[in-house]
Amino acid sequence: MNAPAQVPAAMRQAVDDAKARVARLHDELPRWELVVWTAGNVSERVPGVDGHPDLLVIKPSGVQYDELDAGAMVVCDLDGALIEGTRNPSSDTAAHAYVYRHMPDVHGVVHTHSTYATAWAARGEEIPCVLTMMGDEFGGPIPVGPFAIIGDDSIGRGIVETLSGHRSTAVLMQNHGPFTIGASAKSAVKTAVLLEEVARTVHISRQLGEPLPIPQEAVDSLYDRYQNVYGQ
């Protein structure tokens, strides 16, 4: 009988550091009112070393946010199998793992049920690019992904199919809610916060009239400046 997989010694410190980061980042979801009760999750890829494959750190399933700390986090391989932890991984782990397997530049994935973004997802409607913030952060509209049920990697496939070749780092999975990706777990959380802000603002705008689209050349300019020049 094969011994159960475990975190390689060469990755021990990196995994522990990721657990601490992911635990802290989960605090941001209720702080920005992106989740209720135990819904939502943040994960981070831990790159493999010395020939060991990548791993991911994610929250356990059905655990309240005030009970989450570094020790509560679970570690899985990129097939979603539990490597370390005393609780079951998040029910969305298969989706996160699929994204990491097929999008090697992604190192953070976030899922929320934030109210306004999820309302757009319930309509199966993309959020049009009518705000300069959207041009900056997303480079265009927020796309809608296909309807899929939790239980296998169907949601992950929908995320990858929708975002591959797309500037957006956010997708509205139809009838489900938003997923965001990033070069780090922190950047994916930031994207989730900004996504809810633009979803709310565009929704309110549409109550007052039809929002004005931004010309594509202006969107391109906004995106290039924000991604390559803005900040420190």
Is 45 a domain residue? yes
To 10 degrees, the CA torsion angle through 105, 40, 92, 14?
Answer: 50
- What parts of the chain have a pLDDT lower than 70? 1-4, 232
| Predicted pLDDT at 1 | 45
Per the CB < 8 A criterion, the answer to whether 106 and 95 are in contact is no
Q: What is the 3-state secondary structure (H, E, C) of 194-232?
A: HHHHHHHHHHHHHHHCCCCCCCHHHHHHHHHHHHHCCCC
Residue 152 belongs to a domain: yes
Quick check: is 1 in a domain? no
Place of tokens 């994204």: 99
**Given this model, what pLDDT does residue 3 score?**
53
pLDDT of residue 126: 98
Considering the entire predicted model, what is its pTM?
0.97
**CATH number of the structural domain spanning residue 181:** 3.40.225.10
- Active-site residues, by number, are 111, 113, 136, 176, 230
And the tokens for 95? Answer: 């989706």
Q: Which residue range forms the structural domain that includes residue 199?
A: 9-226
Centre a 10 Å sphere on the Cβ of residue 84 and count the other Cβ atoms it contains: 16
Count of structural domains within the chain: 1
What pLDDT sits at residue 232? 62
